[in-house]
Structure 1
C-alpha cells in the first residue's frame, strides 16, 4: 500500500517474516478515518502464514492522535441514521481492523511515540506488545466526548491493567506517560525516541529466534488464559504440550 489518502494513509511492507504497518499521515499526527480502518482490515485479511511478527508504527512525532475530528459529525450522522443492528455491524467492520493484530501465529508490536489518543491508543492496545518512547502521552478520552472506546480497546485495557485502573483511565481520560505505562503493564519497555526503532528491532529479533511452533502455542495459551478458568486452562496446557512433544519427536 502506498499510504495515499484514498488508502487511509496506511502503508504495509514485508521483510521476511516481519510485516511493518505504518500510519503515514504525519502532518495530521496520523489521525485516523474509516478509510484507515478499511486499509488496516484489508491488510489483516491478506495476512499469510509466513508472517510471524507484525510491527505497527506511526510516521513523524506521534503514533496516532486518534480519530480525525473532522469526520466525527458525518460518522455520527451516518450511524444514527441506520437501524441499531446495521450501525453495530458497521462498527464491527471497524473493529476487525484492530482485532486481526492478535491473529493466531502472529505476535504484534506497537512502536509508540508521542501521542496515542483514542483510536490511536486502541490501535496500540490491540497489539500484543508495546514499546514506547519516553515522550509517550496515551489517553482514552472517549467518555469525555459522550462516547465509549469501541475499537476493541476495553477488553485489551482490562486484560493489561485490571478493572479498577481501566475504569480510572477511561473515565478521567488523563494522559499516561512512558514510565507509568511500563509500571502498570501497558508497555514492555520505554526508550528515548531516537532508540525506538532499534528497541523494536531487538525485540523482533528475539521473537524470531524462537521455534515458530513453540512461540505459536505459547502465545495461544497466554491469550486463552485471559478468558479461561483454571480447569480449562490446565487442559489447554496439557493438550499444547502433547502437540509439542509429538512434533519434536517426529
Structure 2
C-alpha cells in the first residue's frame, strides 16, 4: 500500500510508526514490514505519541501497514527470558506489585485507546495477518476495510495469556459474547468473508484496491459537518451503556445542541 500522506514530511517517524498529515486526514503507518510489523513496547509508545501529535484540524485517521501483513502480533522477542532491551521481561513483570504491574499494562494500552476519541473517525486498512496485538489494534479503530487475504486471530489465550490491549470490549460489541469467546479460546483464523459477515469488517476488497477503497471511505466521512459526526459518534458509542429511555434523552440533548449551533451559524 501507498500512504495518502506519503508526499508530505512525517510528523512522526520512530520505532516502526510513521505519522503523516494532509489537511483533515492523518495517516498512521506501521512501517516495519521486514518483521511483519510485529509489536513491542517501543512501538506502543510511538503509537501513543502519534495520537498526542495530531493537529486539531484532523477529522479522520487512517491506520495502515507496509508489507504483506498488517501486524503479526507481539514481537517474539517478548517471550525470551531477556525480553526487549531496556524493557521489563515477562518474568520481571510477574514479580512487580499489583499496582506497578497494572500501571505498566495501562501504559501499553494507551497506544490502543486514543483511536476511540469522539472528535475522530478512525479507519483501519488491514491486509494479511492481523494477529493478537495486531487484531486488537485493528479493533481499536471505528471502521475496518480489509483485503481479501486478511487473517484475524486472537492467539493470547493459547499462550496462557489474555487479550489485554483493549480488544475484548470492541470484539464482544461487534460479534457478541459467544462468538468472541470461541474466537479467543480457539485462536483460529477469521478470514475476509466471515469477518464481513459477522461484523468485524465494514468492507472487503481485493488487495490491490485497498488504498482506493479507504480513500473513497475517507472522502465520504468528510462530507457531513464535523460537529454532527462528533455528536453522532458519541451517541452510538454510548448506546449500549444506556437504557432505551436514557438513549432517547441523549438524542434529544445532542439534537438540541446541533439545532442551537446551526441557528447561531445562520445569524
TM-score for both structures, normalised by structure 1: 0.96
Pairing of 1:1-250 with structure 2 (within 5 A):
7-73=14-80, 74=83, 75-250=89-264
Alpha-carbon distance in structure 1 between the residues aligned to 2:92 and 2:17: 24
Q: Quick check: 1:182–1:189 contact (8 Å CA) kept in 2? A: yes
The answer for unaligned runs of 5 or more in structure 2 is 1-9, 84-88
CA distances 1:78-135 after superposition (whole Å, capped 9, x unpaired): 3112111111111101111101001121000000000000000000000000000000
Aligned-CA RMSD value: 1.3
SS in 1 for 2:241: coil
Q: Quick check: 1:8–1:34 contact (8 Å CA) kept in 2? A: no
Instruction: Number of aligned residue pairs: give it.
Output: 248
SS in 1 for 2:213: helix
Q: Quick check: 2:12–2:50 contact (8 Å CA) kept in 1? A: no
Alpha-carbon distance in structure 2 between the residues aligned to 1:228 and 1:165: 23
Higher helix fraction (1 or 2): 1
Alpha-carbon distance in structure 1 between the residues aligned to 2:189 and 2:158: 13
Q: Quick check: 1:3–1:24 contact (8 Å CA) kept in 2? A: no
CA distances 1:190-218 after superposition (whole Å, capped 9, x unpaired): 00000000000000000011111111110
SS in 2 for 1:104: coil
Alpha-carbon distance in structure 1 between the residues aligned to 2:31 and 2:164: 23
Q: 1:139 to 1:44 in 2, by over 3 A?
A: same
- Which region of structure 1 is more displaced relative to structure 2, 92-101 or 70-79? 70-79
Q: 1:125 to 1:37 in 2, by over 3 A?
A: same
TM-score for both structures, normalised by structure 2: 0.90
CA distances 1:178-201 after superposition (whole Å, capped 9, x unpaired): 110000000101000000000000
Q: CA deviation at 1:170?
A: 0.4
- Which region of structure 1 is more displaced relative to structure 2, 197-206 or 42-51? 42-51
Q: Quick check: 1:49–1:105 contact (8 Å CA) kept in 2? A: no
